A and B are shown apart, each in its own frame.
Chain A
């Protein structure tokens, strides 16, 4: 009798193991893309397949919009003659449309037409040249052309045309968010019960996960928040910058083509669309707290803004736990 029980027990256990192995199936990878560290972590029976499909889409997006890749749509646009209609892929079309929407919503605080101005400062992830403060003349020569007035999309024929050689496109401020959204889309309808997508700090969580928010002046995180079926991303003055004579110049440029030097150190936004939040985060860094009344209040988005005193102005973010006493909730 005892032996029979033992055999049955062992058989049941093995069966349970086999079943739960299928459900706890887990696949992950890390890589560098969009000039940042990326991490994909999927849980569920389809984990390995979805991982492969996600990597495929992310590569396809990069191929179309990478400013340094001479075969990309964006490179071709940025080197095109005036009036030349450059054929572009679906991701370029989507990014163009989504960017322009937010450019208009934020009154150009988010502006993907500023690439030539970024180059004046030497802000370019793979730029090995000099960081410098450009002159007023240099900035003013390019500023009027940093606009969607000089670069147009033909949605029917899927082409983009430059109307002046003084404008160049860069989807860097929205591409990671867009790629997050596309990756999350792949998971829906597949057997994925949880996913962590982190593309250079733009995060999408399917299921629930504890996410840390970066400190502004050192490594690690100062707060944790539980994110459920949503995206979370941060824009800060500490991501890419240089210092000259004790003054910090960060990579985010304002309406005047100059490095943002305002009331915020960083902003973290949570919302259903990562592309939307990614672009808005840049705009909020440019506009500071005035963004709240201008467009943030109407956006279905939770925000956390960190000012120069490390005081955090928050909407939503319920359940946030501050771990570092230097940061305070206002």
Chain B
């Protein structure tokens, strides 16, 4: 196969294949740049019935069970991820969501009216 640059010089047409490869390479490069500057999830906000009941740093270790009127929820934060380990709700949808860690991700438990949200670019990096 004649290399593409020689094709250009000799006036022959592009191979479609060449275009695909170059676009792929470009896309990889751009993605790499974006990933480096992506906002870090850094804060976990826990709301029950719309009221903020807890705020944690995403990089601390937490194992907390909330005893609510509607049931129990066990929240764990470890290694920069947060998830629901145990819940008394009927469908366990909140547990099946699994571990979240990126800014904007949420776990919602409708029966217990609880929302766990990872917020990124928190206003503060940590608290004294």
Q: A: which residues have CB within 8 A of B? A: 1, 3-4, 6-7, 9-10, 13-14, 16-17, 20-21, 24, 28-32, 37, 39, 41, 196, 198, 201-203, 209-214, 219-221, 224, 232-234, 268
Contact = CB atoms under 8 A, between A and B. Distances in A.
Contacts of A4: 5
B75 to A, nearest CB: 14
Given A21-B36, A220-B55, 14 more contacts: A10-B26, A14-B29, A17-B29, A17-B36, A24-B36, A30-B59, A30-B61, A31-B61, A196-B126, A209-B126, A213-B127, A220-B52, A221-B124, A232-B128
A17 B59 contact: no
B7 to A, nearest CB: 9
Q: Which 4 A-B pairs rank lowest in CB-CB distance, beginning with the nearest?
A: A212-B124, A13-B29, A212-B127, A17-B32
Please report whether the interface of chain A is mostly helix, strand, loop or mixed according to DSSP: strand
Contact of A3 (B22, B30, B124, B126): B22
B114 to A, nearest CB: 15
Contacts, number: 96
B8 interface: yes
Interface in B1-46: 4-5, 8, 14, 18, 22, 25-26, 28-30, 32-33, 36
A234 B128 contact: yes
B125 A196 contact: yes
A3 B128 contact: no
A210 B29 contact: no
B67 interface: no
A41 B30 CA distance: 27
A233 B126 CA distance: 12
Interface residues of B, number: 29
Interface string B63-89: 000000000000000001000000000
Most chain B C-beta atoms within 10 Å of own C-beta, residue among A203, A209, A219? A219
A224 B127 CA distance: 9
A10 B128 contact: no
23 contacts: A1-B8, A4-B5, A6-B22, A6-B25, A13-B29, A13-B30, A14-B29, A17-B29, A20-B36, A21-B36, A37-B57, A39-B57, A39-B126, A41-B59, A201-B127, A201-B128, A209-B125, A210-B124, A210-B125, A212-B126, A219-B53, A221-B127, A224-B123
A201 to B, nearest CB: 5
Contacts of B57: 30, 37, 39
Given A3-B18, A7-B22, A220-B52, A213 B29 contact: no
B113 interface: no
Contacts of A16: 33
A139 to B, nearest CB: 31
Nearest to B53: A219
Contact of A211 (B18, B25, B52, B126): B126
Contact of A32 (B54, B55, B61): B61
Contacts of A14: 29, 32
Contacts of A17: 29, 32-33, 36
A119 B24 CA distance: 67
Contacts of A9: 26, 29
A72 to B, nearest CB: 23
A29 B8 CA distance: 53
A268 B128 CA distance: 8
A204 to B, nearest CB: 11
Nearest to A270: B128
A203 B125 CA distance: 11
Contacts of B53: 219
A21 B18 CA distance: 29
Given A6-B26, A20-B36, A224-B123, A213 B5 contact: no
Contact of A210 (B28, B33, B55, B123): B123
Contacts of B59: 28-30, 39, 41
Contacts of B36: 17, 20-21, 24
Contact of B126 (A6, A29, A31, A198): A198
